[in-house]
Chain A
Amino acid sequence: MILIVDMNFKKHSLAYHEFVLPLVAIVEEFDDFTVKHHLEMGLEVASEYNKVLLSGNALRNNLFHVRKTGFEWIKQCSKPVLGICAGMQAIGLAFGLQLRACQEIGMVDVTTLLSNPLFSSKFRAYALHNCSVEPSEEFAVLAESGLCVQAIKHKQKDIFGVLFHPEVRNTAIIKRFLKT
Chain B
Amino acid sequence: MRLGVLFSGGKDSTLALHKTAAEEEVTCLITLNSTNPESFMFHTPNINVSRLQAEALGLPLIERVTEGKAEKELDDLEEAINEAVREYALDGIVSGAIESVYQAERIQRVCNRLEVWSFNPLWKSNQVDLLREIVKRGFKVIISGIFAYPLDAGWLGRELDESLIKELVALEVDYGVSPSGEGGEIETTVLDAPLFRKKIDVEEFEILARGNTGVFNIKKAKLTIK
Contacts and interface: CB of A to CB of B under 8 A. Distances in A.
Contacts of B67: none
Contacts of A13: 23
Given A106-B101, A168-B124, A14 B109 contact: no
Q: Is chain A's interface secondary structure helix, strand, loop, or mixed overall?
A: mixed
Interface stretch (B81-89, B112-120, B166-174, B176-184): B112-120
Interface in A22-41: 22, 25
Given A14-B19, A17-B123, A58-B118, A105 B109 contact: yes
B109 A107 contact: no
Nearest to B99: A168
B24 A22 contact: no
Given A18-B120, A58-B119, A59-B118, A105 B112 contact: yes
A169 interface: yes
Q: Is chain B's interface secondary structure helix, strand, loop, or mixed overall?
A: mixed
Interface residues of A, number: 21
A12 B23 contact: yes
Interface of A: 12-15, 17-18, 21-22, 25, 58-60, 103, 105-107, 126, 128, 167-169
27 contacts: A14-B119, A17-B119, A17-B120, A17-B125, A18-B119, A18-B123, A18-B124, A21-B124, A25-B125, A58-B119, A59-B108, A59-B112, A59-B118, A60-B112, A60-B115, A60-B118, A105-B105, A105-B109, A105-B112, A106-B101, A106-B108, A107-B105, A126-B101, A126-B105, A128-B105, A168-B101, A168-B124
